[in-house]
Amino acid sequence: MQQEIYGVVSIILTVFFIALSWWALQAIRFDLFLKKPDGAQAKLLQILLSLVIGYEVARFFLDYLSWSLIIGQVFS
């Protein structure tokens, strides 16, 4: 895969999985765990968690894509 295409795919997947993790984190009741669940610190925590989770999931899929392309080259 060309570097430019891989770069665009990386950005799109990372943003997609960050947004998906943000959406999934909305289902968690943070009021059970935090003192001020509506405060700025709670929102920052949600943002940071969605960034970390989304980035790691995107990295997993990008690594998988890279590995599958390498395996394809080995057998050709």
Total structural domains within the chain: 1
Q: How far is CA 27 from CA 2, 51, 54, 57, in A?
A: 38, 16, 16, 18
pLDDT in tens, 43-68: 999 999 999 999 999 999 999 988 98
| pLDDT confidence of residue 1 | 57
Residue 24 clears pLDDT 70, i.e. is over it: yes
Please give the mean pLDDT across all residues of the chain: 91
Domain with 38, as residue range(s), is 3-74
